[in-house]
Amino acid sequence: MFFGKPAEEIDAEDLEGFLAKLFEAKVSPLSARGEKIANDVNTEMGEFIEAVEDFRSSNIEPDSEDLYISNLSSIRVGKASYANALKQAVHAIELSSEGTTYERYSLFLAELKAMIEKVMKVNASFRTVFFAYANGLKRMKEHFSRIEDSSSRLERELERYSGDFGAYMQARNEIRDFLVMLKEKESIGARVWLGEARRGALKI
């Protein structure tokens, strides 16, 4: 080798691990930023649940001035149901221990988006309660909005490395194909040996 460092020798069986190591090194900023975002999300989630609980137990009255509300007592009953539905929709998200950093945060983001979607659906289902208690929901909305911001931040972070992840996946798939070929060759080699034994048994 006249130019540059000599090639590093890697056993075929160790290729995938070696690739993962290089990929992790390349996306290492994602790990730190992702962890911060995940922590923010779970903190905000706790705050959100707390705000929902405070809302549920508060004696706040529905605001009926700007709305056409025929039955205020049903709105009051709906308040508790709405709070319970929100509490059921929201929960802390654990980061998976499987896969690369990129895959783990992608999974985290997918779960987070699904949860945001659920909260939106609950809001839509309790539309009247949501508007009637607009003032009482301010704190809860602030936390939820921060959760949404975190989701967007994480999405942007992942987007930044999506090209690297595509390249990693391509190399990983090529390595897996390569290992399958080696395995097939090994198994055919074993069958050749078996064929020789059979030929011997037939005294050819």
Question: In the complex, what is the shortest distance from the CB of residue 195 to other proteins, in angstroms, rounded to a whole number?
Answer: 5
Please choose, from the candidates 46, 45, 20, 29, the residue with its C-alpha nearest in 3D space to the C-alpha of residue 156.
29
Q: Which is nearer to other proteins, 149 or 164 (CB)?
A: 164
Helix (H) or strand (E) holding 158: helix 138-160
Report in angstroms how near the CB of residue 167 gets to other proteins at its nearest: 5
From the list 91, 93, 99, 109, the residue with the least C-alpha distance to 33 is: 109
Which residue lies nearer to other proteins by CB, 7 or 124?
A: 7
Residue number, 24 or 148, with CB nearest to other proteins:
24
- Interacting residue ranges for other proteins, rule: CB under 8 A: 4-13, 15, 18-19, 22-23, 26, 164, 167-168, 170-171, 174-175, 177-178, 181-182, 184-186, 188-192, 195, 198-199, 202, 204
Contact status, residue 109 vs residue 118, Cβ threshold 8 Å? no
Work out how close the CB of 32 gets to other proteins at its nearest, in angstroms, rounded to a whole number. Answer: 20
- Residue 37 tokens read as 């975002």
d(CA 40, CA 32): 13
Nearer to other proteins, 121 or 185 (CB): 185
